Amino acid sequence: MVAICVALFFGLLPRLEAYAKLQIGSQVSAAIAPQNEKLDGIGVKVAQINGKLEIYDPMLLDDWRDQLKQSARLSPQEFKSSLGELSNTVTAARDAEIAADPLLVGPIGRRVFDLAVLHDVTHYEIHDKADSSHPKAFA
């Protein structure tokens, strides 16, 4: 009789384990379903935002190009006072991995160098990352 009970127990044990795993899996899936839906919704919203931001890329390129051209035409005193804004423009373009036409940034670089020489700046770095073949290059 004991042998029959042991045989039944070991025969039923795999089925009981499978049933328990199925029940636990179903409960876990049901519990995380709302969070999964929220995450899916966030992914859709991020994609929509990225699509909207891509619309502004050409406008930003034009704005950066205009700011650089305008900086090149400023008087020395105006140029010196606009260096902060120019730095922000160049940093934003660099962070967006936008290359500038050397013909556009060359005169500005010379003016910055001239200011550095005028004010006896002894340490500076020039990073030449301009690549006019870059797909986002602005001329």
Instruction: Please tell me the predicted confidence (pLDDT) of residue 132.
Output: 45
Give tens-digit pLDDT for 66-116: 888 888 888 888 888 888 888 888 888 788 777 777 887 888 888 888 887
Structure tokens at 86: 């120019």
Write down the pLDDT at residue 119.
65
Structure token digits, residue 6 = 């042991």
Residue type, position 35, single letter:
Q
- The answer to whether 68 touches 88, Cβ cutoff 8 Å, is no
pTM: 0.46
- The answer to which of 18-27, 53-62, 120-129 has the lowest mean pLDDT is 120-129
